[in-house]
Amino acid sequence: MRLVPIVSRLGAIAVLTAALCGCGGSGVVSRDGTVVGISERDFSIRAPKIVPAGDAVLRVVNRGPDDHELIVVRAEGGSLPMRDDGLTVDEERLEHSEAGVLEPGNPGSVRTIDVHLAPGRYVLLCNMAGHYLGGMRTELVVE
């Protein structure tokens, strides 16, 4: 029957297309590295607890309703230093430990940032005024 080869061919095309798109959840390895899905909202950040070391693409979705940024800081134990206002993390003092910074984005935006993650412990945070203290921080372990 001629129908069978057509159906099987269509199936093969569908599988191939899905693979090439690279649309997968967290931990899917693409050509540029591990894609890490991160979701921000008022006032929390959701991310995998553990990601493999090396190059990674952080795919950040802002679910709003506020604008949010994402700062990836290597933080080996203890809390982060605060600025004098007492409301924001002192980024200048963390300059050497920053793995990546994503500037504030609108609610609904999906953005990516390429980072190189050395094994260790990292903190993901939003440093908009009050957001860090309001709950927008999470820890990430790179192995």
**Listed ranges 15-23, 32-40, 109-117, 127-135: which one lies at the site for another protein (CB under 8 A):** 127-135
Among the listed residues 26, 54, 130, 138, the single contact to another protein using CB under 8 A: 130
Chain positions 43 to 82 lying near another protein, rule: CB under 8 A, are 43-44, 64-67
Q: Considering beta carbons, is residue 30 or 44 the nearer one to another protein?
A: 44
Strands, DSSP E only, in the chain?
28-30, 33-41, 44-46, 50-51, 54-62, 68-74, 98-105, 110-117, 120-125, 137-142
Q: Considering beta carbons, is residue 28 or 87 the nearer one to another protein?
A: 87
Question: Considering only CA atoms, which of 41, 46, 38, 21 is closest in space to residue 100?
Answer: 38
Residue 39 binds another protein (CB under 8 A): no
Residues shown for the chain? 143
Task: Report the first-to-last Cα separation within the chain, whole angstroms.
Answer: 53
Q: Do residues 142 and 53 lie in contact, with contact meaning Cβ atoms separated by under 8 Å?
A: yes
Chain positions 1 to 30 lying near another protein, rule: CB under 8 A, are none
Interface residues with another protein (CB under 8 A) are: 41-44, 64-67, 86-87, 107-108, 128-131, 133-135
